[in-house]
Amino acid sequence: MAEVAISLKGVSKCFKRYARPVDRLKEILLPGKSRAVPFWAIQEIDLEIFRGETIGIVGQNGAGKSTLLQVITQTLTPTSGQLTVNGRISALLELGSGFNPEFTGRQNVFFNGRILGLSQAEIEQKFDTIVEFADIGDFIDQPVKTYSSGMFVRLAFAVAVNTDPDILIVDEALAVGDVYFQQKCFIRLRELREAGVTLLFVSHDSSAVCKLCDRAILLEHGRVILDATPRQVVDLYEAKLLQKQDQAPERIAIQMPQASTDAAITSTSVQLKYVQFLDADNHAIQSAFSDSKVQLAIGLTFLERMEDPHVGFRMRNRTGEVVFESNTFCMKHSIGAVEAGSSIEARFQFHLPLLAGDYTITIGIAEGGFSEHQFKRVLTMLHNTAVLKILQNPNAILWAGIVNLNPTFEIYRSSSTPDETLIEL
């Protein structure tokens, strides 16, 4: 039977709440009578998480997610119930926890590593990987109080995911940073998951939960109201969100996951000069509305003669999932032979039936295509050459999923029957 990594039996946490700040003061000055109102942030939680499982924790603001995770990491003591944790926990829950603002990044890595139970030698051995992951340059030797919140998260995440935890707890709301860093985080989370690490993942991003998790729980008013597959949990969560939306109309945007560890390939026979998005009027852009038409311009200089060059691009969402890729060979286009020293601009024009969010572009250049994705020589494969921010289109329908199918709708009523309510589709 699978080994239990975390077990909660009837766990509840009660906070004291005061109707007015003055009540707290009165309670201190006039002890004896409690003026607090008890508030149960989590109630009667029964949960078993098995070693190697990836669990998504979903719930609306105030549902009790952070409280539950703080109880599991033992930052908060439960008011009642029993918690058992088997394994070393590394958590990225609260910005700043575990970091001393006066210490440099380097000192904090060692300080944190020791808190997480690593020896000095183990931290030294992992130090370069942590610094490379955080990618904050010389700031590693500056006091962390001088860091931006983005730098802070980078370093905290780098420490949390590179210190061999048995159990990793991540609140994705903290994974701020650019799209490249977010993709890197998702790739690392998947690697850890494959390595058998138990992962608790809190996110408001339904598709990230579906892609990453084996199981999910939905919290509502401090109780687990569903413990099921991520799809089932997300469906109920979204249905509840939509119900709420009916009361206060506001749009929701859902994004999607997955990642890759493709290596970059560079070549001396062709140079990538620029990659630029353009609008329909050929103006350079960094962002575009969902469903609008854009152009991707790719400037190339060939350093040797080529008979049959091809160029393609791959677009990934923030969690690294490929949303589209193709190339001139697959599109049945020929660039034709190019001479050494000649330059071209390849332009792809397309619509963006995609969700709002940041998307990255990988460019591939090859020579001599002979079947789908197969070329005589792959000359260049360069990741992260450009980012496009897709903005929610205010004129679009309300939709969720991966691609906006933009359906039209018609209704057919049977003319042969007098019953006007009978609908045939």
Selected from 65, 184, 318, 383, the binder of ligand ATP by CB under 6 A is 65
Least spacing, CB of residue 61 vs ligand ATP, in Å: 3
- Are the beta carbons of 311 and 369 closer than 8 angstroms? no
Q: For residue 400, give the amino acid letter.
A: A
Binding characters for ligand ATP, 72-111, by CB under 6 A (x = yes): ----------------------------------------
Residues 3-32 close enough to bind ligand ATP by CB under 6 A: 15, 17
- For ligand ATP, the closer CB: 68 or 109: 68
Distance from C-alpha of 168 to C-alpha of 193, rounded to nearest angstrom: 9
Distance from C-alpha of 297 to C-alpha of 285, rounded to nearest angstrom: 11
State which H helix or E strand residue 160 sits in: helix 149-161
Of the listed pieces 59-67, 93-101, 179-187, 286-294, which binds ligand ATP according to CB under 6 A?
59-67
Report DSSP state, residue 141. Answer: G
Selected from 12, 58, 59, 71, the binder of ligand ATP by CB under 6 A is 59
Of the listed pieces 54-62, 101-109, 268-276, 398-406, which binds ligand ATP according to CB under 6 A?
54-62
Rule CB under 6 A: say whether 274 interacts with ligand ATP. Answer: no
Least spacing, CB of residue 169 vs ligand ATP, in Å: 12
Query: Which residues, in sequence order, are CB contacts of 21 under 8 Å at separation 6+?
Result: none
Q: Where are the alpha helices (DSSP H) in 63-118?
A: 65-72, 105-115
Least spacing, CB of residue 35 vs ligand ATP, in Å: 14
Question: Cα-Cα-Cα-Cα dihedral of 256, 257, 258, 259, to 10°?
Answer: 110
- For ligand ATP, the closer CB: 66 or 319: 66
Least spacing, CB of residue 237 vs ligand ATP, in Å: 12
Distance from C-alpha of 10 to C-alpha of 172, rounded to nearest angstrom: 26
Rule CB under 6 A: say whether 37 interacts with ligand ATP. Answer: no
Rule CB under 6 A: say whether 66 interacts with ligand ATP. Answer: yes
Query: Which residues, in sequence order, are CB contacts of 88 under 8 Å at separation 6+?
Result: 116, 117, 164, 165, 166, 167
Residues near ligand ATP (CB under 6 A) are 15, 17, 39, 41, 59, 61-67
